[in-house]
């Protein structure tokens, strides 16, 4: 979504944030085959972005830019060099972060963890009538806590 649009337009910092956030939230996506040419608007865009990232990395070895270059290469058909860039991006990243684990997840060396969905507090229920009488399906009647009959 937003990460690929930002990457296609050359907004690299936003692209890194959106892509890493997406993979952090849904890590199983690391196992999907991604058609970057289609997502970014063609093979020429992929090549332009790769060349641009390589040029930027010569001046400043930013881990997020290195991640993007690795991402483009892994999913653009240059798996081995892409994994090297992803591993270089992981160096110095906080332990347990998606940036630190991404290369191993893509390589299949680390299983993706379960999705990190936003926490939702459990819904408490209490008997609706106070007597716990079952409903028509035989389930006890319940209502959210704090709701009066």
What are the DSSP calls for 71-111, one per residue? Answer: HHHHHTT-HHHHHHHHHHHHTTSPTT-HHHHHHHHHHTSSP
In the predicted model, residues of the chain with pLDDT beneath 70 are 110-149
Determine the pLDDT at residue 126: 47
Determine the pLDDT at residue 37: 74
pTM, full prediction: 0.70
Determine the pLDDT at residue 20: 92
> Mind listing the pLDDT tens digit for each residue in 105-124?
888 876 666 666 555 555 55
> Structural domain boundaries of the chain?
2-107, 120-149
């Amino acid at each position: 979504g937003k990460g690929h649009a930002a990457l296609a337009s050359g907004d690299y910092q936003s692209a890194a944030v959106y892509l890493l956030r997406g993979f952090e939230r849904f890590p199983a996506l690391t196992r999907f085959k991604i058609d970057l040419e289609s997502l970014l608007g063609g093979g020429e865009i992929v090549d332009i972005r790769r060349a641009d990232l390589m040029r930027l990395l010569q001046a400043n070895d930013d881990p997020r830019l290195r991640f993007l270059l690795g991402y483009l290469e892994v999913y653009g058909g240059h798996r081995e060099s892409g994994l090297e860039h992803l591993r270089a991006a992981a160096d110095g990243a906080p332990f347990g972060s998606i940036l630190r684990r991404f290369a191993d997840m893509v390589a299949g060396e680390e299983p993706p963890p379960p999705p990190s969905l936003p926490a939702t507090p459990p819904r408490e229920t209490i008997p609706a009538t106070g007597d716990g009488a079952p409903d028509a399906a035989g389930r006890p009647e319940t209502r959210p806590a704090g709701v009066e009959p």
